[in-house]
Amino acid sequence: MAKRPTRGGAPRDPAGPCPCGTGQPYPQCCGPTHRGEADASTAEALMRSRFSAFAVGDTTYLLRSWHSSTRPARLHLDPGQRWTRLEILDAERGGLFDSTGTVAFRAHYRQAGRPGTLAEHSRFTREDGHWVYLDALPG
């Protein structure tokens, strides 16, 4: 199958492994969530789907999965940044019966040929029954 470039400039095999790190094929993992065919069932699942959206350049999904009180009006991704790997370090609450949760993670990327890492402890909440990203905890 032919690979197509993503907005980040990285080749992405549409039937290949999902960028979120589960090992499942993208079309069956984060693909349905990105296409609006399924909701993330937990805060961690939303975090994984958002990382994948950064990796494939899906700004529409990123904005849709952002809480209305903290969502930017527009989102422009850096075309020179390629998201390569996600590590979930910790998840608290954010389950099927919770209304809030947090996920600590490290997101790895390459930019200008050099590796980089973004570490964040993110807060998630439900808005209209759906998990959404709220913000990052300080420090």
What pLDDT digit, counting tens, does each position of 92-116 carry? 999 999 999 999 999 999 999 999 9
List strand residue ranges (DSSP E) for 9-136, in order. 11-12, 81-93, 100-111, 114-127, 130-136
**DSSP assigned state of 129:** T
Question: Which pLDDT score is estimated for 13?
Answer: 56
Using a cut of 0.85, tell me whether the model's pTM lies above it: yes
Mean pLDDT of 86-91: 98
Handedness of CA 73, 124, 37, 12 (dihedral sign): positive
| Cα 100 from chain centre | 17
Q: What is the average per-residue pLDDT within 85-97?
A: 97
pLDDT band for position 139 (50/70/90)? confident
Answer CATH for 4-136 from 2.40.50.1020, 3.30.300.130, 3.40.50.2300, 3.10.450.50: 3.10.450.50
> Is 71 in contact with 48 (CB distance < 8 Å)?
no
pLDDT at residue 122 greater than cutoff 70: yes
Give every CB contact of residue 136 below 8 A, 6+ residues apart in sequence: 120, 121, 122, 123
| Residue 65 predicted with pLDDT over 80 | yes
User: 31 Cβ partners below 8 Å, 6+ apart?
Assistant: 18
The model's pLDDT over 9-33, given as tens digits with 9 standing for 90+, comes to 333 556 789 999 999 999 999 999 9
Q: What are phi and psi of 57, to 5 degrees?
A: 80, 30
Pairing mode, strands 100-111 and 81-93: antiparallel
Q: Over 70: is that where the pLDDT of 136 sits?
A: yes
